Amino acid sequence: MVKVDKLFFGLLQVTLGNRDRLSVVPSAEEWTEIYAESERQAITGILLHGIEKLPAEQRPAKVFLLQWIGVGEIIKQQNSLLNGRCKELTSNLSAAGLHPTILKGQGIAQCYPESLQKLRLPGDIDVYVDCGLRKALEYAESLGQKNVEWDYKHLHLHLWDDTEVEMHYHVEVLLNLWKNRKLQKWFAAHEEQLYNHTDCTDTTDLITPTAEFNVFYILLHIYRHFLYEGVGFRQIIDYYFVLKNLNENLNVNESYAYKAVGEFAMVKFAKGLMWVMHEALGMQRDWMLWEPDEKEGRYILKQVMTGGNFGHHDKRLKHSGGKLGAVKAILTHNMHLITHYPADVVWAPVWIVWHKVWKTWMQFKGLKV
């Protein structure tokens, strides 16, 4: 492990309260590299909190730090905007007779401590509504939206120029068609767990899934992105706080969410992720629901550091453009994963063909493009 990576992980651990200071004082050049990695991993705001906790002699130069603080203020403003948008969106959906819940991002942010909540870099808004594809399209069209973009999982609502909204009618999908059919039945069986006033810090009064539901769902979200795009530390830190906020009385042997990880063959990945969270984040062992696997963890960590947030920096995913180029890049990227997670990786090309046929059929039945 290179020195800058150790410093990066050390600052993450200071941020999360798992150590008091860095092992050495970073040079100006090393601070620049740490900042660059924080951007690649989409956690620049999160690490700012860690810098503020460092002893004065370990902090970066004042001019550099002021620039970092400026970025943090922008992130705080973005979070304030998105939290307001979430309230407006769910209010409007409820008024239309729909039943919304905020997934992932702004929902998981409520599980962060208040000092970090506003510094988590926000993305788009993911909202689940139990209405199905047809009614979701009707809702989008009732707002005057033309040429709605949609697929098996969600559609894009164009409500604001400054905020992207993905309206889910399927919570998540797996490209393995057999496992996906099983997954949709699982979500239907536990749908009531999707609607809960957050049992974390509850500062925005959002409806989100329960903490126990997220034990499975957020891990599934990370796993899926790891397989087909790439995943970064922003999502891993999300799961860190999911586990931290679990009720101490949770009996894993009776937990439906814990059992689901085994039912969907994600235990190997979960064990590797536990090692990553211990090694990089300093997560204590008694928070772990699975025994950490160092060998798999090192493999996962290498992919995380190579690709960054959602694999945006992974050269294996670069392509010449167009849908065919994108498909080729994904399949090429997946080749190194096939020995680790073959049951899901080999289904990617099958899913691409199936989804094309499915969407054509749905359009033939009368759904608009």
- Convert the pLDDT of each residue in 301-360 to its tens digit: 999 999 865 554 455 555 455 666 666 666 666 667 877 888 888 888 889 899 999 999
Question: Is the pLDDT at 127 greater than 50, yes or no?
Answer: yes
For 281, residues 6+ apart whose C-beta sits below 8 A from its C-beta are 9, 12, 13, 16, 18, 236, 237, 240
Residue 248 — pLDDT band, cuts 50, 70, 90? Answer: low
Query: Between these two residues, 218 and 196, which has the higher pLDDT value?
Result: 218
Task: Convert the pLDDT of each residue in 263-316 to its tens digit.
Answer: 999 999 999 999 999 999 999 988 899 999 999 999 999 999 998 655 544 555
232 and 173 belong to one structural domain:
no
103 and 204 belong to one structural domain:
yes
118 and 198 belong to one structural domain:
yes
> For the chain, what percentages of helix, strand and coil (3-state, to nearest 5) are there?
60, 5, 30
Q: CB under 8 Å, gap of 24 or more: what pairs does 287-296 form?
A: 287/243, 287/244, 287/246, 288/243, 289/215, 289/243, 289/252, 289/258, 289/261, 290/261, 293/268, 296/268, 296/269, 296/271, 296/272, 296/340
Residue 42's SS3 state is coil
Element at 130 (helix H, strand E): none
Mean pLDDT of 230-247: 91
Mean pLDDT of 12-37: 95
Q: Which domain holds residue 124?
A: 91-209
Question: Phi/psi at 155 (nearest 5 deg)?
Answer: -130, 165
Domain boundary among 209, 231, 264: 209
When divided into structural domains, the chain yields a total of 3
Residue 369 — pLDDT band, cuts 50, 70, 90? Answer: very low
Per-residue model confidence (pLDDT) at position 245: 85
Mean pLDDT of 231-243: 95
Task: Convert the pLDDT of each residue in 143-164 to its tens digit.
Answer: 988 888 999 999 999 999 889 9
Per-residue model confidence (pLDDT) at position 330: 64
User: Is residue 185 situated within a structural domain?
Assistant: yes
User: Is residue 14 situated within a structural domain?
Assistant: no
271 and 338 belong to one structural domain:
no
For residue 11, which amino acid is it?
Answer: L
Residue 123's SS3 state is coil
Domain boundary among 269, 293, 313: 313
Q: How far is CA 102 from CA 90, 92, 206, 258, in A?
A: 8, 13, 7, 22
116 and 153 belong to one structural domain:
yes
